[in-house]
C-alpha cells in the first residue's frame, strides 16, 4: 500500500512538471523554469515517504480512537447495568396489631424494606418474643434464646456437622443429604449414627464408633433406641473416654428412644460400643456436643 501511494504521487509531480516545461520551450528563460520545476519535483518526490508516514500515523490514530470509543461504550453499558441493580431501601414506622388489637406503643423506624425484603429491628423482635434476640456486632452473630437467660456465644454444636466420628466397626453415619432414614418406633430421622452388634457367622461382633474430640467438649447429649430392623434384643452401651470405660447403660429393645447425657470432661477421645446382642441395630440421634 505504501509503495503504491508513493508511485502515484511521483506520477502526479512528473506530469505537472512536464506540463510546465512544454509551455516554455524555446529559450533560456524557459530552460531555467524547467530546471526549477524539476528541482521542485525532485524535492516533492523526496517528501513522499514523509507524507505516507503521516497518512499511516493518522490512520493508526483513528483506529486507536475507535477502540477507545468501543471501550468507553462498554464501560457506560456496565455502569447503566450497575445502576439498575443498585440497592433500594426504605425505612418504615409500622403499626403493630396483636391478635386483632392495635398496640399503643410507638415503633418508629422499626422496619427496613431493602430490595423488597423486610428487615425488623432488634427492639421490635424482642418486644414480640420477650427479649430472646441479641445481636453481637463483634461476632457478627444473632443469638436467640428460648430460656430467660441471655447466651451471647456459641455453646454447642451438632456432632454430625463436625468430623469427630472418624472410624469404627459395624457403624454408619447417616446425614440428611444422603436421602436415608433411621426408623425407631414411630419416628423417622434423617440423620444420626447407627451402630450394630452382629454375632452371626459372618457378623463383625460388637459394633462401635470412634470419636476424635480433641479436648474441646464438656458434654454429649443424644437419644438412642433400637432401629426397626433385625432382632428385638436388649444390649449394653459402653462409653469409653481416653481408652477407659466410664459409663455402661442398659438399652431396652421394646422402648422408644431414650435421652442420655454423657460428661466428657474435655476428653481427647471417645468410643461408643454396643454389645450383648446377636443381630441388632441401635440408632443415635439428636447428638449435641457442648463446649
Per-position pLDDT tens, the chain of length 291 = 555 555 555 555 555 445 444 444 444 455 555 556 555 555 555 566 777 777 777 777 778 878 888 888 888 877 776 666 677 788 888 777 766 666 667 778 778 888 778 887 777 777 766 656 677 777 777 777 666 666 667 788 999 999 999 999 999 999 988 889 999 989 999 999 999 998 776 767 899 999 999 999 999 999 999 999 888 999 999 999 999 999 999 999 999 999 999 999 999 999 999 998 888 999 999 999 999
CA distances from 208 to 46, 194, 204, 282, 283 (A): 98, 9, 10, 11, 12
On whether the CB atoms of residues 251 and 236 are closer than 8 A, the answer is yes
Q: How long is the chain?
A: 291
- Rounded to whole angstroms, how far apart are CA atoms 247 and 192? 21
Tell me which CATH homologous superfamily contains domain 158-290.
NPCBM/NEW2 domain (2.60.120.1060)
pTM of the full predicted structure? 0.56
Hey, where are the domains in the chain?
2-81, 89-152, 158-290
Q: Give the per-residue pLDDT at 177.
A: 86
- Rounded to whole angstroms, how far apart are CA atoms 4 and 18? 21
Q: Find the helix packing angle between 2-23 and 48-84, rounded to 10°.
A: 140
- Rounded to whole angstroms, how far apart are CA atoms 276 and 198? 9
First-last CA distance in the chain: 81
Amino acid at each position: 500500500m505504501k509503495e503504491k501511494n508513493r508511485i502515484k504521487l511521483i506520477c502526479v509531480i512528473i506530469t505537472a512538471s512536464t506540463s510546465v516545461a512544454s509551455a516554455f520551450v524555446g529559450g533560456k528563460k524557459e530552460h531555467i523554469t524547467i530546471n526549477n520545476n524539476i528541482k521542485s519535483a525532485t524535492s516533492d518526490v523526496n517528501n513522499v515517504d514523509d507524507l505516507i508516514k503521516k497518512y499511516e500515523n493518522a490512520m493508526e490514530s483513528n483506529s486507536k480512537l475507535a477502540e477507545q470509543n468501543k471501550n468507553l461504550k462498554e464501560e457506560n453499558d456496565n455502569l447503566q447495568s450497575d445502576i439498575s441493580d443498585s440497592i433500594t431501601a426504605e425505612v418504615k414506622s409500622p403499626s403493630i396489631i396483636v391478635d386483632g388489637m392495635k398496640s399503643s406503643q410507638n415503633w418508629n423506624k422499626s422496619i427496613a424494606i431493602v430490595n423488597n425484603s423486610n428487615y425488623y429491628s432488634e427492639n421490635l423482635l424482642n418486644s414480640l418474643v420477650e427479649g430472646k434476640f441479641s445481636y453481637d456486632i463483634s461476632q457478627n452473630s444473632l443469638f436467640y434464646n428460648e430460656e430467660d437467660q441471655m447466651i451471647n456465644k456459641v455453646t454447642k454444636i451438632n456432632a454430625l456437622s463436625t468430623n469427630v466420628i472418624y472410624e469404627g466397626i459395624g457403624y454408619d453415619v447417616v446425614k440428611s443429604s444422603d436421602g436415608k432414614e433411621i426408623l425407631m418406633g414411630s419416628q423417622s430421622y434423617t440423620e444420626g449414627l447407627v451402630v450394630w452388634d452382629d454375632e452371626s457367622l459372618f457378623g463383625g461382633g460388637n459394633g462401635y464408633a470412634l470419636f476424635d474430640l480433641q479436648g474441646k467438649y464438656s458434654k454429649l447429649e443424644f437419644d438412642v433406641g433400637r432401629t426397626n430392623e433385625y432382632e428385638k434384643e436388649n444390649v449394653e452401651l459402653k462409653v469409653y473416654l481416653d481408652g477407659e470405660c466410664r459409663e455402661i447403660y442398659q438399652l431396652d429393645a421394646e422402648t422408644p428412644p431414650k435421652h442420655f447425657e454423657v460428661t466428657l470432661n474435655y476428653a481427647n477421645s471417645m468410643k461408643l460400643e454396643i454389645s450383648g446382642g446377636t443381630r441388632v441395630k441401635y440408632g443415635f440421634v439428636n447428638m449435641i456436643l457442648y463446649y
